[in-house]
Chain A
Amino acid sequence: MINLPDDATILDLDVLTAMYGDSSEETIVFALTGFYLAASGYMQDIQQAMKASNLTALAIAAHSLKGICGLVGAKPMAGLSNQLEHAARSGDTEQLQKALLMLPESWQLLQQQLKLVLKQ
């Protein structure tokens, strides 16, 4: 089992190990590597949908991002994706703007945490 990084509020590995029912290094690395690749793709999808003002596509990408964040214990990002999804579905532009403003910073923090864990 690998050591937990300090900031479990950004990436809670206890959630990941509970989800997978396995705390082995192999499983954690596999899940987080897969998560990083998938989440990067959904982040791009969100940005493209935002540029094209396509709320449906934005909601779909946010929904998928929410799902995988829940799977690996990325709680704040999961919450933010949830806000994005619901704002996009309901056409609530005010909420959407708020969530979109917070998104780059949250993603950056999560990326840092991911790199930290994967280095260990």
Chain B
Amino acid sequence: MLLKNFNVLVLDDVILMCDFLYGVANKVAGCKAFKALDAKTASEVLEHENIDLLITDIELKGPSGLELLSKVRSGLFANTAHDIPIIIFSGNAYRELIQQCILFDVNDFLAKPLTADQLSKKIQHHLRHEKLIQPAAHYLEMKQRIETPAVQGDEEEERRFRVAIVRELAQKAEQEEAELDENGQQLEKRDFLYWPEDATTGYYQLDRRLRNLAYNLSCFHNVFINNCKPVAIEAERKRACAAADYLLHIVKSMRQREQRPEFWSMLQIRLDKLSALMAELAVINVKHHNNILALLKKFAYWWMQTCNKPLIQRTDGSDDKSSR
């Protein structure tokens, strides 16, 4: 049984089907369902709610399900992680559509009709089992490639296109050169807090929430450093606090059912410290630059201590620090 409340979004433009999916998802233990009849409404839900699983039809009036899932995978929604399980629920299985869905690493492709029992099992399965998802930038690049219309036309048009490629390559070479240090070694570009791709706690849900926390704290750091408007800083602060709350919540429910008591008590010590830092972040005056900088340093230090052995394992065996 799933213990935590997972948010499941169902999208189908046929009301009866949408209600069916919603009813089934809502009955899965530990799941709270949201429903949308079009991609626009679904986008709003994905933007404002922390969705853990998406079930969508592919052929919709207006923007298609494929467009929506490519946005999810590209990390274009503020509150929904890009690596959530995505289930396609469709009445047709056209090869081209399936191929495009596979490019975006959808977790499952279900053909209608499907019984409530079968669907319920699929939901539970995908909330429990991890699928390796690439970084959001990978899908964003692919999305842009697919959306860019093919270059056609006369020779002049083709020549201009070739020139564009040469320019782009030259710029890329300059950029790569700038990223080398004095010894000619490649410098790794990182966020303020960075979750290494090969790091894991051993729990997919936990990895995802830690990565989400790092991302949101990095966003807060970026808007603050770049002197963005107070309203933007305020919004990022809220998101970072929400990400921490979600992490604390998931740990609370996971430790009740998981083994490894030593791991969970060590993690709890780190999370108690995080709670104190988050409480500080929640009330700090964003106009007091020095106080915020000091707090950000504390976060960086906390992250460095937390995202290391023994809590976090690296699959390649290295022990790189996770914070700049």
Contact = CB atoms under 8 A, between A and B. Distances in A.
Interface string A16-32: 00111110000000010
B20 A71 contact: yes
B191 interface: no
B298 interface: no
Interface residues of B, number: 20
B16 A63 contact: no
A38 to B, nearest CB: 5
A62 to B, nearest CB: 10
Contacts of B59: 60, 63
What class of interface size applies to chain A in its complex with B?
A: 10 to 19
Interface string B7-36: 000000111110110011000000000000
B285 interface: no
Contact of B15 (A20, A38, A60): A38
A93 B118 CA distance: 37
A70 interface: yes
B115 interface: yes
B61 A60 contact: yes
Contacts of A60: 59, 61
Contacts of A18: 115
Contact of B14 (A19, A31, A38): A38
A interface secondary structure, majority: helix
Contacts of A15: 113
Given A18-B115, A19-B113, A21-B115, A34 B91 contact: no
A21 B116 contact: yes
A19 B16 contact: no
Interface string A52-80: 00000000100110111011000000000
B14 A68 contact: yes
Contacts of B117: 21
Contact of A34 (B15, B61, B116, B120): B15
B21 to A, nearest CB: 10
A35 interface: yes
A53 B291 CA distance: 68
A19 B115 contact: yes
A67 B115 contact: no
Interface in A59-118: 60, 63-64, 66-68, 70-71
B112 interface: yes
Contacts of B91: 63, 66-67, 70
B16 A68 contact: yes
B17 A68 contact: yes
A34 B15 CA distance: 8
Given A19-B113, A21-B117, A22-B116, A64 B92 contact: no
Interface string B184-218: 00000000000000000000000000000000000
Contact of B116 (A20, A38, A67): A20
B57 to A, nearest CB: 8
Given A60-B61, A63-B91, A63-B92, A35 B116 contact: no
A110 to B, nearest CB: 15
Nearest to A30: B19
Nearest to A34: B16
A87 B31 CA distance: 40
- Closest A-B pairs by Cβ, 9 of them: A21-B116, A70-B113, A34-B16, A68-B16, A64-B14, A67-B91, A38-B16, A21-B117, A19-B115
Interface of B: 13-17, 19-20, 23-24, 59, 61, 91-92, 112-117, 120
26 contacts: A15-B113, A19-B113, A19-B115, A19-B116, A20-B20, A31-B16, A34-B15, A34-B16, A38-B14, A38-B16, A60-B59, A63-B91, A63-B92, A64-B13, A66-B91, A67-B14, A67-B112, A67-B113, A68-B16, A68-B17, A70-B91, A70-B112, A70-B113, A71-B16, A71-B17, A71-B112
